[in-house]
């Protein structure tokens, strides 16, 4: 079984924006994330640890300005924490092993798909296309990713 963890080397390789978002709990500007409009089949992994987080099959257009997902691909890899910053109470989501700030989860997602909206910063993610999943060690998740059109 693969061990996912945060390393000094992985953190040092982050761009300034990726560092600000993942290590300092920042938020990218709405509408600017590189994965907002990505419709390719594959999975999204933590940019720091590589742990699998979300499947393209669970991504949807919420109109909020950030990539949105209905559920994690591996629930144990997503930690939920109370966030009382900015004068409101929200639920922050972080990668469990990499401890990267990912974004927040809200209860206004599609009711027919569980009702949750995981609002995630592109800067905290790395996308692995379906045709690269096996080679990169994510083959166990192929059944959770739609076939290419």
Query: Three-class SS of residue 83?
Result: strand
Residue 81: inside a domain, yes or no? yes
Residue 86's pLDDT band, with cuts at 50, 70 and 90, is: low
Question: Is residue 39, in this structure, part of any structural domain at all?
Answer: yes
Q: Which domain holds residue 85?
A: 8-132
Q: What is the CA radius of gyration of the chain?
A: 14
Query: What is the per-residue pLDDT across 32-70, written as a single tens digit (0 to 9) for each?
Result: 999 999 999 999 999 999 999 999 999 999 999 999 999
In a domain, 146, yes or no: no
Domain count, the chain: 1
Are 121 and 102 contacting, i.e. CB atoms less than 8 angstroms apart? yes
Nearest to 120 by CA among 75, 39, 64: 64
Please report whether residue 3 resides in a domain: no
Domain presence at residue 104:
yes
100 within a domain of the structure (yes/no): yes
pLDDT digits 0-9 by tens, 17-36: 999 999 999 999 999 999 99
* Burial of residue 24, with CB atoms counted within 10 A of its CB: 0-12 exposed, 13-18 middle, 19 or more buried: exposed
- Measure the CA–CA gap between 111 and 147, rounded to whole angstroms: 25
Burial of 65 (0-12, 13-18, 19+ CB in 10 A): middle
Average pLDDT of every residue of the chain = 94
Say if 140 falls within a structural domain: no
What's the confidence (pLDDT) of residue 88? 73
- Whichever domain contains 97, its CATH number is 2.170.150.20
Q: Tell me the catalytic residues.
A: 119
For residue 142, is it within any domain? no
CA distance 106 to 39: 22
């Amino acid at each position: 079984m693969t061990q996912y963890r945060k390393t000094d080397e992985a953190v040092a390789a982050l761009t300034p924006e990726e560092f600000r978002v993942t290590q300092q709990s920042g938020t990218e500007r709405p509408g600017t994330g590189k994965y907002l409009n990505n419709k390719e089949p594959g999975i999204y992994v933590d940019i720091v640890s590589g742990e699998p987080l979300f499947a393209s099959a669970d991504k949807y257009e919420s109109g909020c300005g950030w990539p949105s997902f209905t559920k994690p691909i591996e629930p144990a890899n997503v930690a939920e924490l109370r966030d009382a910053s900015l004068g409101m109470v929200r639920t922050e989501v972080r990668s469990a092993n990499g401890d990267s700030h990912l974004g927040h989860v809200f209860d206004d997602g599609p009711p027919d798909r569980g009702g949750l909206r995981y609002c995630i910063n592109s800067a905290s993610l790395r996308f692995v296309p379906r045709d690269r999943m096996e080679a990169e060690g994510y083959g166990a998740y192929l059944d959770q990713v739609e076939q290419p059109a």
